[in-house]
Amino acid sequence: MELKSLDSTLTTPPKETETETEKDKDERSLLKSSSASYAPETLVDELDKKYAPYARKDAFGPMGRGPVPFSQRVLVALAALTLLPLRFISGVLILFLYFLICRLCTLTLFSNPNHQNVNEQQQEDHLLRMTGWRRHAVVQAGRLCARAMLFVFGFYWILIEDRTHHQLDSPGPGAIVSNHVSYVDILYHMSSSFPSFVAKASVAKLPLVGLISKCLACIYVQRESKSTHSKGVSGAVTDRVQQAHQNKNSPMMLLFPEGTTTNGDYLLPFKSGAFLAKAPVVPIILRYPYKRFSPAWDSMSGMRHLFLLLCQFVNYIEVIKLPVYYPSEEEKEDPRLYANNVRKLMATEGNLILSEIGLSEKRVYHAALNGYLSQR
């Protein structure tokens, strides 16, 4: 979708000159044509209303680049000089410590003569089947380090509302289905249940994080290819979900069926791929209450967001754990129906607003805001 397609909904085009062609009219950008009839504040309000799931309402404004009161600037400057370095160093140390633990476990795993001279795919398979003390060490250390990282990020307390009713005798779920608000979501889920999740293939090659992601048994997605190894991504996810459902020792999959992040007040349409396995799922709802800066990663750059997050002394997270959702026979045969019913349940229980826009609209919104902010 191009930005020019939004002209008719946001603005009244200025009167054409005699020399202006129809093509020239169509090629005018959204922000140039809007500036003739809208004040900047009105334009942003219109964009925020149209793309409400991605609009920021905190003290730092659109994309974290809005006008900030002097008092807030002073607080951020002080935190940048004191709190930020301490948190950054602590975070790196925690990450490095967990890397060493993972390295120790994998070294002893592949020092076995039966596991030598294996390729990358075989290594991932061995890591997925990791058992005994190695698996216990990786999981328990991972949960502890993830919680420590949350503490470093300012999430000192986590308010959890457990509505599961302790379904201990029921068959195990195959996946965790969560709304997606921030990269912090992954840290919380790691600290809580240490699931596997889908990641870009490039993550596996990153220093420190690459080995950790392999110990998490991530499924890697190749952006330029629609397949993961010999299977499609949805096929690999389906197999893993079914495996977790049938074997309680297998890690559950963490799935964000919205496919992108929101500001936490909305729930986007669910992709049905997460529900193809016909297995029960655990719906979990995350919220991030805030006073100054919202931890939601909705419409700003990653570095700016991380900087402001680390400069906020206290951050808050609220969790609602819903009972395991067991699909009916009709839902098993219709993954889209299954996905829609879980989505409606989460929206009702979490007091979230259902929205029908998706990632393509988010890109349009970001481009429009970037254009406006670059012209200020």
Predicted confidence at residue 169, as pLDDT, reads 53
Asked whether the predicted pLDDT for residue 231 surpasses 70, the reply is no
Of 100, 96, 104, the C-alpha closest to 130 is: 104
Tens digit of each residue's pLDDT (9 = 90 or more) over 98-139: 999 999 888 766 555 454 444 455 555 556 566 778 888 999
Task: Flag the least confident range among 167-171, 209-213, 266-270.
Answer: 167-171
Predicted confidence at residue 66, as pLDDT, reads 79
Asked whether the predicted pLDDT for residue 173 surpasses 60, the reply is yes
Predicted confidence at residue 19, as pLDDT, reads 44
Asked whether the predicted pLDDT for residue 350 surpasses 50, the reply is yes
Tell me how far apart the alpha carbons of residues 115 and 319 are, in angstroms, rounded to a whole number: 41
> Residue written as tokens 């085009």?
13
pLDDT confidence band for 81 (50 / 70 / 90): very high
| C-alpha distances out from residue 221 to 198, 225, 336, 374, Å | 7, 8, 22, 33
- Per-residue pLDDT averaged across 293-300, rounded? 89
Higher-confidence position of 10 and 182: 182
The dihedral through the CA atoms of 13, 17, 18, 24 has a sign that is: negative
Higher-confidence position of 324 and 247: 324
Tens digit of each residue's pLDDT (9 = 90 or more) over 333-347: 999 999 999 999 999
Predicted confidence at residue 251, as pLDDT, reads 86
The dihedral through the CA atoms of 340, 341, 346, 349 has a sign that is: positive
Predicted confidence at residue 149, as pLDDT, reads 97
The alpha-helical segments, DSSP class H, found in 111-131 are 120-128
Q: What is the largest CA-CA distance in the chain?
A: 81
Share of the chain above pLDDT 90, in %: 48
Whole-structure pTM value: 0.81
Highest mean pLDDT among 15-19, 81-85, 134-138: 81-85
pLDDT confidence band for 217 (50 / 70 / 90): confident
pLDDT confidence band for 7 (50 / 70 / 90): very low
Per the prediction, the chain carries an average pLDDT of 81
Predicted confidence at residue 333, as pLDDT, reads 94
Task: Flag the least confident range among 102-111, 155-164, 274-283, 364-373.
Answer: 102-111
Of 23, 24, 32, 37, the C-alpha closest to 3 is: 32
For residue 325, what is the DSSP state? B
Contact 223, 200 (CB under 8 A): yes
